[in-house]
């Protein structure tokens, strides 16, 4: 009965947590497609709700300056994004992790 009356999409559920909390931490199992897709799907929803900061562990801090410049570039550079993912941890070099940068 509770779920019938209170059902939310995963994105709506995460956004609702910001009504009570300044910070929301999400855990994920790594290399599970739907976990990474949730983060990717959340990005525009967070922005729409004026939540403009997202910290993720899918990159190496030593690449951060270059990643920031890529994210601010007028066009997405998939080859560059792939290089970050492969450099960080080749076992995570899945399309979904690259898509997070896009």
pLDDT in tens, the chain (102 residues): 888 899 999 999 999 999 999 999 998 887 788 998 999 999 999 999 999 998 887 778 889 999 999 999 999 999 999 998 888 778 777 889 899 889
> How far apart, in whole angstroms, are the C-alpha atoms of residue 8 and residue 16?
9
With tokens 């562990």, the residue in question is 57
Residues 46, 4 within the same domain = yes
Overall size of the chain counted in residues: 102
Q: For the chain, what is the domain count?
A: 2
Residues 45, 1 within the same domain = yes
> How far apart, in whole angstroms, are the C-alpha atoms of residue 31 and residue 33?
6
pTM: 0.79
Residues 1, 43 within the same domain = yes
The pLDDT of residue 80 is 94
Residues 39, 76 within the same domain = no
Secondary structure of residue 49 in the 3-state scheme: coil
Give the domain range for residue 96.
58-102
Cβ 83 vs Cβ 75: under 8 Å: no
Structure tokens at 81: 């994004």
Residues 31, 73 within the same domain = no
Cβ 58 vs Cβ 100: under 8 Å: yes
Residues 49, 77 within the same domain = no
Q: Provide the 8-state DSSP code for 70.
A: H
The pLDDT of residue 20 is 94
């Amino acid at each position: 009965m509770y779920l019938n009356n209170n059902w939310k999409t995963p994105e709506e559920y995460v956004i609702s947590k910001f009504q009570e909390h300044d910070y929301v931490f999400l855990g994920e199992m790594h290399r599970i497609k739907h976990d990474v897709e949730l983060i990717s799907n959340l990005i525009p929803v967070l922005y729409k709700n004026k939540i403009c900061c997202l910290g993720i562990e899918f990159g190496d801090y030593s690449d951060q300056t270059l990643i920031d410049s890529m994210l601010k570039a007028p066009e997405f550079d998939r080859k560059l994004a792939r290089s970050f993912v492969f450099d960080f941890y080749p076992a995570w070099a899945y399309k979904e992790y690259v898509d997070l940068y896009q």
